[in-house]
Structure 1
């Protein structure tokens, strides 16, 4: 157990931590002051005091936003956790209430999940938990684990995340792909046959240095090669390319079914079987006891069920 240095803590105004957390949340002195129901000069004074005590600028003005320094970013999670524990202790351990909770969740997502989950999650939170906000980011796999550990992200949802001793893991649904094309630009039957599929020009999503991107391994396993002429970082750019160009877009089936018709694209099953890892939901083991995190995970499960995604 860590011993508390009461003397040093007594000499530090703990209200400054509340001011710090408000500044991290709002990125603006005026908005932070409004959140704490104090005047702007008082908030500015708290920031000046924090800068002296911590010997760091903490926040640097960039346009209208106060950007946190590396020192401030390193303090953000432990300060927020300490304040949340203090609030829980003072409230007598009141149960989590989504209707009154005020919190920002940071979620790492794959591009597929970004398009399938964010619209429905936003609508659900506006209805059930208006004080809960979501900052979603497409996150590189290699950055995900340390970010879960240090609290930079609260949850990760994607197809490449796996279970370890330090994080919990739950499969959400199996991944399959379909192809989309503009029938006015490509004279193809539906479903597209294998010969026509292999002869066509293709657009795919890629977030690495290859044109085949996320389907590269699956294509190699299936023993087929596509003539990929365009690879983009997101599925909407790939589908938009198929809308105005004579190319086939190969995308996850749920993306194809939801967004393809909106762009006037026909959706066809793939004429070649490709194998992909399932989409998983991953969170740090220490978040198991966080009622708000558990509630958010349940919302994601229900959204997955509501949009017809079968869990396996």
Structure 2
């Protein structure tokens, strides 16, 4: 990307570019002034200023007409492009047609949302916004605010307990976890008692260096120490490990419902009452009224409702 000399541009009245473009289109001081809805003297003043700044006549009279000089012709294309881009940028937040839009949305997601929300969202966008693309970025509670502030992501979906004043947020659904295990290896039935859960070895999700993970930390708050033998930042290694080892993998319930059967695992409710931060959608205040972002947030809300209904239907089977 080319750098911009803000200091030098600050001393140049960009309205002069508009006057120049109008003059290139009309080749008449009178008609250009009418087009810009300014007086003829003001238009003449703009041209005089441009000639002084650019050290060129720009427009010279040939018979009854004004003709652009070589320098004016060379400037015409770039000036027109710059004005067109500026106009498009100013109108972008007020106009968004999903059916014709060609845009990349950058969405920060946790591991759960990457596998539960994104597939459903992509499926919806294929039919209502075929030109829209999604760039998924992994987030954690430590990185999400910094990534949003830096503009690396347009919004975030995952667990976030606190919303900064510069951000907006809303709850999509409550967080729940479930236990997945291979009953043949663990010697367990299709239900799990508190005693069996506490006596077992465990695999848990962890986004930090703490091997206890969020489940283990929650247990520690209750005075319980789990025997955690595997902590990973994603659910897939946990389910894979539970398929081949006598351990219990505790993962988000919606992950368990959709993916545990692929590993031949039994899924049960966790036999201990635990509370986790809800799954939220968060975005920066400066995108609050961006019509494209408003549209995207509506799509995520709608898809979330579909995902919740699907998970409930699968769990009931």
- TM-score normalized with structure 2 length: 0.69
Per-residue deviation, residues 18-69 of structure 1 (Å, max 9, x unmatched): xxxxxxxxxxxxxxxxxxxxxxxxxxxxxxxxxxxxxxxxxxxxxxxxxxxx
- Partner Cα distance (1:173, 1:158) in 2: 10
| Number of matched pairs | 239
Does structure 1 retain, via aligned residues, the 8 Å contact 2:169–2:281? yes
Matched, 1:271 2:276: no
Q: Determine the structure 1 residue equivalent to 2:227.
A: 227
For the 8 Å contact 1:172–1:281, the answer to whether it is kept is yes
Task: Tell me how far apart the structure 2 counterparts of residues 126 and 83 of structure 1 sit (CA, whole Å).
Answer: 30
How far is the alpha carbon of 1:223 from its aligned partner? 2.6
In 2, Cα distance between equivalents of 1:211 and 1:83 = 55
SS at 1:306's partner residue?
A: helix
Cα pair distance change 1:197/1:286, threshold 3 Å: same
Bigger Cα displacement from structure 2, 117-126 vs 209-218 = 209-218
Alignment partners' CA distance in 2, 1:265 and 1:84: 55
Q: What is the SS of the residue equivalent to 1:289?
A: coil
Measured in 1, the distance between the counterparts of 2:237 and 2:160 equals 22
Mapped contact 1:109–1:137 kept (Cα < 8 A): yes
User: Match for residue 189 of structure 2?
Assistant: 189
**Distance change (3 Å), C-alpha of 1:231 and 1:83:** farther
Secondary structure at the aligned position of 1:260 is classed as helix
**Post-superposition CA distance 1:138-179 (Å, at most 9, x none):** 123333223222322100111125222211110111111110
Partner of 1:5: 10
Runs of 5+ unmatched residues, structure 2: 1-5, 18-82, 311-317
Structure with the greater alpha carbon radius of gyration: 2
> What's the TM-score, normalizing by structure 1?
0.70
Instruction: Trace 1:160-199 onto structure 2 (pairs within 5 A).
Output: 160-199=160-199
Q: Matched residue of 1:223: which SS? A: coil
Return the alpha-carbon distance in structure 1 between the equivalents of residues 85 and 260 of structure 2. 43
Partner of 1:114: 114
In the alignment, which residue of structure 2 is the partner of 1:86? Answer: 87
Give the secondary-structure state (helix, strand or coil) at the position aligned to 1:136.
strand
- How far off is 1:131 after superposition? 1.2
